[in-house]
Amino acid sequence: MMTENEHTTEEEWKEKLTEEQYKVLRLKGTERPFTGKYWDNKEKGVYYCAGCGTPLFNSKSKFKSGSGWPSFTNPIDESNVHEEQDTSLNMRRTEVLCSKCGGHLGHVFDDGPKPTGMRYCINSISLDFKPKNKED
């Protein structure tokens, strides 16, 4: 996968991100369920990549999955996310990454609600949220 930020060094990422963000976005870590700031967020707005600011998910596609992580039926734009097979932890999963910076966001599963049947299970710490203006 080619990324726009492929020339950003690990030292630059460490300076830009918090230690927790770095562990998830750059080292493919996972926050504990029910601990992230957005797992139960019900505000309307857009979720952006915490690493580079790419718009990833609209609150309209967010649903309560019971998993403890923010879950979405689909990204804002398919080209803003990249999927790769993840065979770590002796499991076969599909990892979701930001297409622009390559940051680890979470995983996608095919057990979501209609219309897509998909559940993008995303770490809160990988996201920044901007609420919709009341005038919009």
- Residues classed as catalytic: 121
Closest Cα partner for 84 from 101, 99, 100? 99
State the Cα–Cα distance between residues 35 and 38, nearest whole angstrom. Answer: 9
Nearest in space to 127 (alpha carbons), one of 51, 45, 33, 67: 51
Q: Exposure pattern of 102-112 as b/e (b: 16+ CB <10 Å)?
A: bbbbbbbbeeb
